[in-house]
Amino acid sequence: MRSLFISDLHLTPGRPDITRAFLRFLEQDAPTARQLYILGDFFEYWIGDDVMDEFHLQIAGALRRLSEHGVSISFMHGNRDFLVGERFCQLAGCTALPDPSVILLAKEPVVLMHGDSLCTLDTSYIRFRKVVRNPLIQKLFLSFPKRMRRKLADRLREKSMSAAREKTEPSMDVTPEAVTDALTQYQSKTLIHGHTHKPAIHDLEDGQQRIVLGDWDTYGWVLEHNPNGFDLKKFTI
């Protein structure tokens, strides 16, 4: 009875080392699990399912192989790959998982989120999110020619990279209020999320816990839940 949780791989053709580590994980670790939960920012960027190439098809194929092996795969969007759609999920044998979602682990409710919505002090990002998550604006963006989408996305990412350096650390992390609100709303003691790139298991008041997944860069991170509880595993890429 193993469940695995990953997020923030930021897969891109520019990081073949991370892609290889992920494909290795799919072959060596994931097949003996019952479920695999992908909690957002699986891809570094996504501008439409119609822009998939060899790289994306290889990853979708590897995921599909795992799903056909009997592992159920759930895919939650992150703040980068929120445009991943039905076509990719179908190719990859994944089921879309809304943000937030509540699952049962050892009969206990557990809240799953990407984590960006917990960073309630990041006002400039919240503004950006409101625009790009608007269904009408998404429809308009997806109606643009591919080269125009590419150009616009490249420009937005460049702009955001220079802005991120100016941001002070605390505004990027989750706020305790947002965490408490989520746990209260879903009457759960455990919250699992990614996004902040600060992997840890935080024990909170009243037996509550917040588990933060790690981003894949120098190390890869996998959270495992088994009959003994949670285990946040770290390995070199």
The residues of the shown chain that bind Mn ion, judged by CB under 5 A, are 41, 78-79, 195
Is the Cβ of residue 144 or residue 230 nearer to ligand OKV in the bound state? Answer: 144
Spatial CA neighbour of 117 closest among 153, 85, 77, 145: 77
Cβ 9 to ligand OKV shortest distance, Å: 14
Phi, psi of 119 (to 5 degrees): -90, 70
From 23, 51, 105, 153, residue interacting with ligand OKV (rule: CB under 6 A) = 153
From 47, 66, 89, 179, residue interacting with ligand OKV (rule: CB under 6 A) = 47
The tokens for 111 are 């809240």
The answer to whether the CB of 132 falls within 8 A of the CB of 140 is no
Residue 3 annotated in ligand binding? no
Spatial CA neighbour of 192 closest among 220, 231, 228: 231
> What letter represents residue 59's amino acid?
I
Collapsing DSSP to helix, strand or coil, 108 comes out as strand
Residue 167 annotated in ligand binding? yes
Is the Cβ of residue 55 or residue 141 nearer to ligand OKV in the bound state? Answer: 141
Spatial CA neighbour of 35 closest among 121, 104, 113: 104
Cβ 157 to ligand OKV shortest distance, Å: 5
For the segment 158-187, give every residue that binds ligand OKV (CB under 6 A).
Answer: 160
**What does 131 interact with, of Mn ion, ligand OKV, none (CB < 5 to 8 A by kind)?**
ligand OKV
- Give residue 216's Cα distance to chain centre: 11
Residue 69 annotated in ligand binding? no
**What does 41 interact with, of Mn ion, ligand OKV, none (CB < 5 to 8 A by kind)?**
Mn ion
The answer to whether the CB of 51 falls within 8 A of the CB of 146 is yes
The binding site comprises 8, 10, 41, 79-80, 114, 122, 160, 167, 195, 197
Detail the residues annotated as belonging to a binding site for Mn(2+): 8, 10, 41, 79, 114, 195, 197
